[in-house]
Structure 1
């Protein structure tokens, strides 16, 4: 599991006094890309881009400006050019949201979908995936 610290900004807060639901999508994108950057070799990072295809978000508890929040990213599987993730947003032990997302890997030069090399997939996924 990869942990990505989230910095909540005043602009993230909506008219109800908590983080707007749309902000969670940015957090998930930042966390997944940060995960990729942490596990992939520099040449793979330079030659691949990631585009989100689908997010399924379960909002469980509100998040507030003063909260210390972390996103836990779990790479579930890779199939062809697609990768599947679960991202859990937490405040301490409290789960604030859970996001299932599907991403497409693109070749940075052509912007076309591309499969990851097996050695990259091996670094990308946990041993049990």
Structure 2
């Protein structure tokens, strides 16, 4: 199973009054990693995969330790834990770049492909499924 790696910069505005990255900001970090994964890595040049729209149906976040604001980016690893006919679940870990054992956040997002023209959910295409399966954690399926 492959994991998508995204280097996420920290911004001054991400910090709370205590010098930590605010808990709500992590949703933005996950969004950036998810967009980088689903859109920039879509299979094939000019592929329409994932470009028709998607909506988030659910987020789940476990805050493991505070992330103190600094200039160095963090690493967000993303992978797929579930693919169904009309949704997928992406898991994430927000980690220290130089020490991957240091995890700040573990999270997951349920994403539903969406047809923006008809304003309705749609099924995952064969091309999208093929792409997602490269990042599928088969151990998560057995659990």
Structure 1 contact 39–124 (Cα < 8 Å) conserved:
no
Partner deviation per Cα, 1:82-116 (whole Å, 9 max, x = no partner): 11010110013211110022111101322310111
1:4 CA drift (Å)? 0.9
Mapping of residues 62-101 of structure 1, within 5 Å: 62-66=66-70, 67-91=72-96, 92-93=99-100, 94-101=102-109
Please identify runs of 4+ aligned residues in structure 1 that moved more than 3 A. Answer: none
Q: Say whether residues 1:121 and 2:129 are aligned partners.
A: yes
Q: Which moved more, 1:37-46 or 1:83-92?
A: 37-46
Give the TM-score, by structure 2 length. Answer: 0.81
Structure 1 contact 87–100 (Cα < 8 Å) conserved:
yes
Q: Which moved more, 1:60-69 or 1:19-28?
A: 60-69
Q: 2:42: which partner in 1?
A: 39
Q: Select 1:49's aligned residue among 50, 53, 57.
A: 53
Q: Which has the higher helix share?
A: 1
Q: Distance in 1 between matches of 2:103 and 2:54?
A: 26
1:39 CA drift (Å)? 2.8
1:45 CA drift (Å)? 3.6
Q: SS at 2:107's partner residue?
A: strand
Q: SS at 1:21's partner residue?
A: coil
Q: Which has the higher strand share?
A: 1
Structure 2 contact 94–103 (Cα < 8 Å) conserved:
yes
Aligned CA distance change for structure 1 residues 98 and 128 (closer, same or farther; 3 Å)? closer
1:128 CA drift (Å)? 5.8
Q: Distance in 1 between matches of 2:63 and 2:14?
A: 15
User: For structure 1, which runs of at least 5 residues remain unmatched after alignment?
Assistant: none
RMSD: 1.6
Structure 1 contact 33–50 (Cα < 8 Å) conserved:
no
Structure 1 contact 40–124 (Cα < 8 Å) conserved:
no
